[in-house]
Amino acid sequence: MDAEAAKLIGAGIACIGMGGAGIGVGHIFGNYLAGALRNPAAAGAQFTNALIGAALAEGLGIFSLVVALLLLFVA
Partner 1 sequence: MANDPIHQFQIKDLAGPVNIGGYDISFTNSALFMGIAVASITAFLWYASRKQALVPDRTQSVGELWYGMIHSMVKNVLHEEGMKFFPLVFSLFSFVLVANMLGMFPYFFTVTSHVVVTAALAVFVVGLVVVVGIWKHGLGWFKLFVPSGVPIVILPFISLIEIISFLSRPISLGLRLFGNMLAGHIVLKVFSGFVVSLVALGIGGIVGAIAPLAMAVALTALEFLVAFLQAFVFAILTCVYLNDALHTHH
Interface ranges with partner 1 (CB under 8 A)? 48, 51-52, 54-56, 58-60, 62-63, 65-66, 69, 73
Between CA 17 and CA 65 the distance in angstroms is: 8
Closest contact distance (angstroms) between CB of 4 and partner 1 is: 17
Choose between 1 and 41: whose C-beta lies nearer to partner 1: 41
**CA-CA distance, 34 to 17, in Å (whole number)?**
26
Smaller CB separation from partner 1, 10 or 29 = 29
Q: Per this entry, what is the length of the chain?
A: 75
- Nearest-approach distance from CB 1 to partner 1, in angstroms: 25
Contacts of residue 27, defined as CB under 8 A and 6 or more positions apart, other chains included, come to 57
Contact 54, 8 (CB under 8 A): no
Instruction: Pick between residue 1 and residue 64 the one whose CB is nearest to partner 1.
Output: 64
